[in-house]
C-alpha cells in the first residue's frame, strides 16, 4: 500500500494518511491518488503544513494546471498569491478582511451556491486542491455532493430525458441567482457563457455523472423557465444528504475533489474573521462538448 484510506461516508470522501505532501510524489503514490479520486471523489489530507511552493509542486505532480487569473473580481493589485492559485480567502491584497459590502466579497460568496469549479470555462476543471491557511472560529464548512451517485439514483425516464442535453454555464448566471447583477461591459465579455454536457462520463471508470453547477443557466433548445426548473429539480435531487459529505476545516488541511463527479458549496462564517484558503486546480482534458458562440 502506498497510502492509507479511510472512507468518510458510504458514498463520498476518504481521509488519506501515510503521506507527507511536502515530499516529492512518487509515481506509485500519484497512481494511488488518482485511483482513490476515481473511487471517493473527495480526499482529505490532515496536518499538511505546506508552503505555496509545496502545494504547487504536489499539484503539478498530478497533472497540468489551470491559471487562476480572470475568474474573480480581484484585480492585479489584490493578488496575494502566485497566479496558479485561486485566492478563495476573504482577504484583499494587504491581507485585510473585505468589508461586508465589498463588491469583490459579494461576488465571491456566490461560492455558497452548489457548483463545480470552472464549469464556466470551455475546458472545465478536473481536480481542485484547497488548503486551509487560517480558519474562522465557527462555520465555513465545505460540503461536497457526489454527482455519480446522484445520477444513478435518477429514474430511467429522467436519465433518458437528460442524456444528450447541453447547458450554458457562466458566472453571470450564478450571481444573478443571488441578486448580484451589476457587471461592467468588460466583465460581461469575460464571463460569456460556455457549453457543457449535462451528463458526463468519467473516462477512466466509465461512470456517468450529472454535470450540474449554479453556473448553469440555460439548456440549449429549451425555454428558459423550463430549463431553470429542470436544473433546480436536478440540483435538489443531487444534493440530498445521502450524497453529501460536509468537511469541517482544520488548520493545515488540504482537501482535493474531482469537479467532474462532484459539486460543492461553502457555508457561511463570521464576515469579520479572516478565512485564508488557497486553491490550485488541475485542468480538464478537453471541452465536454463542441463550443458555439452564445
Ligand atoms: Fe468552488
Average pLDDT over residues 54-73: 94
Average pLDDT, the chain: 96
- CA-nearest of 2, 267, 281, 287 to 121 is 287
Percent of the chain whose pLDDT exceeds 70: 99
Q: Residue 114 C-alpha to ligand 1 middle, in angstroms?
A: 8
Do 213 and 169 meet the contact criterion of CB atoms below 8 Å apart?
yes
pLDDT at position 33 is 98
C-alpha cell at 228: 431553470
Residue 171 DSSP one-character state: H
What pLDDT is recorded for position 251?
A: 98
Measured in Å, residue 31 CA sits from the centre of ligand 1 at: 25
Residue 1 alpha carbon to ligand 1 centre in Å: 31
* CB-CB neighbours of 199 under 10 Å: 17
Convert 172-183 to b/e letters by CB count within 10 Å (16 or more is b).
bbbbeeeebeeb
**Contacting residues for 68 by C-beta, under 8 A, at least 6 apart:** 83, 84, 85, 86, 87, 279, 281
Contact 213, 168 (CB under 8 A): no
Residue 1 pLDDT: 58
161 contact partners, CB below 8 Å, separation of at least 6: none
pLDDT band, residue 187 (cuts 50/70/90):
very high
Give residue 54 CA to ligand 1 midpoint distance, Å.
21
Region 51-74: what's the mean pLDDT? 95
Report pLDDT for 26: 95
Distance CA 145, CA 212 (A): 11
Asked whether 282 and 65 are in contact (CB, 8 A), the reply is: yes
- What would the pLDDT profile of 277-289 be if each residue is shown by its tens digit? 999 999 999 999 9
CA of 222 to the centre of ligand 1 (A): 27
Do 46 and 251 meet the contact criterion of CB atoms below 8 Å apart? Answer: no
- Please give the average per-residue pLDDT across 153-181, as a whole number: 98
Compute the distance from residue 265 Cα to the ligand 1 centre, in Å.
6
Of all residues in the chain, what percent carry a pLDDT higher than 90?
93
115 C-alpha to ligand 1 centroid (Å) = 6
Cα–ligand 1 centroid distance for 276 (angstroms)? 14
d(CA 20, CA 131): 14
pLDDT computed for residue 184 by the predictor: 96
- Per-residue model confidence as pLDDT tens digits over 70-119: 899 988 888 899 999 999 999 999 999 999 999 999 999 999 999 999 99
What separation in Å is there between the alpha carbon of 264 and the centre of ligand 1? 6
Q: How far is CA 58 from CA 19, 29, 52, 88, 257, in A?
A: 12, 11, 10, 19, 14
Q: How far is the CA of 157 from the centre of ligand 1 (A)?
A: 31
How far apart are the CA of 213 and the centre of ligand 1, in A? 10
CA–CA dist 29, 124 (Å, integer): 25
d(CA 77, CA 104): 13
Residue 294 has pLDDT above 70, yes or no: no
Half-sphere exposure (Cβ direction) of 215: Cα atoms closer than 13 Å: 27
Q: 55 CA to middle of ligand 1, Å?
A: 17
What distance in Å separates the CA atoms of residue 129 and residue 148, rounded to the nearest whole number?
20
List, for residues 111-145, the tens digit of each pLDDT value.
999 999 999 999 999 999 999 999 999 999 999 99
Q: How far is the CA of 111 from the centre of ligand 1 (A)?
A: 6
CB 193 within 8 Å of CB 218? yes
**How are the residues of the chain apportioned to helix, strand and coil, as percentages rounded to the nearest 5?**
25, 25, 50
Q: How far is the CA of 294 from the centre of ligand 1 (A)?
A: 24
Judged by DSSP in three states, 235 sits in helix
Residue 248 predicted with pLDDT over 80 = yes
Q: Using one digit for the tens of pLDDT, what is the confidence trace for 253-285?
A: 999 999 999 999 999 999 999 999 999 999 999
Amino acid at each position: 500500500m502506498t497510502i492509507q484510506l479511510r472512507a468518510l461516508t458510504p458514498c463520498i470522501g476518504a481521509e488519506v494518511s501515510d503521506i507527507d505532501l511536502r515530499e516529492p510524489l512518487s509515481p506509485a503514490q500519484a497512481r494511488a491518488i488518482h485511483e482513490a479520486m476515481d473511487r471517493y471523489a473527495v480526499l482529505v489530507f490532515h496536518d499538511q503544513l505546506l508552503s505555496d511552493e509545496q502545494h504547487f509542486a504536489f499539484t503539478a505532480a498530478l497533472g497540468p494546471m489551470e491559471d487562476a487569473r480572470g475568474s474573480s473580481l480581484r484585480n492585479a493589485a489584490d493578488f496575494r498569491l502566485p497566479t496558479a492559485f485561486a485566492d478563495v480567502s476573504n482577504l484583499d491584497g494587504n491581507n485585510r478582511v473585505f468589508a461586508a459590502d465589498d463588491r469583490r466579497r459579494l461576488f465571491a460568496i456566490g461560492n455558497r451556491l452548489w457548483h463545480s469549479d470552472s464549469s464556466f470555462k470551455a475546458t472545465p476543471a478536473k481536480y481542485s486542491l484547497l488548503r486551509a491557511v487560517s480558519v474562522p472560529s465557527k462555520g465555513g464548512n465545505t460540503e461536497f455532493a457526489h454527482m455519480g451517485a446522484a445520477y444513478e439514483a435518477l429514474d430511467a425516464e429522467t436519465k433518458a430525458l437528460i442524456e444528450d442535453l447541453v447547458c450554458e454555464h457562466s458566472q453571470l448566471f450564478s450571481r444573478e441567482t443571488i441578486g448580484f447583477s451589476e457587471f461592467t461591459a468588460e466583465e460581461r465579455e469575460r464571463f460569456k457563457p460556455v457549453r457543457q454536457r449535462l451528463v458526463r462520463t468519467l473516462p477512466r471508470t466509465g461512470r456517468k455523472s450529472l454535470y450540474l453547477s449554479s453556473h448553469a443557466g440555460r439548456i440549449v433548445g429549451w425555454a428558459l423557465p423550463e430549463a431553470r426548473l429542470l436544473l433546480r429539480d436536478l440540483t435538489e435531487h443531487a444534493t440530498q444528504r445521502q450524497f453529501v459529505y460536509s468537511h469541517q476545516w482544520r488548520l493545515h488541511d488540504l482537501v482535493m475533489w474531482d469537479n467532474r463527479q462532484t459539486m460543492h458549496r461553502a457555508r457561511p462564517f463570521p464576515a469579520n474573521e479572516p478565512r485564508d484558503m488557497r486553491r490550485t486546480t488541475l485542468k480538464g482534458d478537453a471541452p465536454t462538448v463542441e463550443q458555439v458562440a452564445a
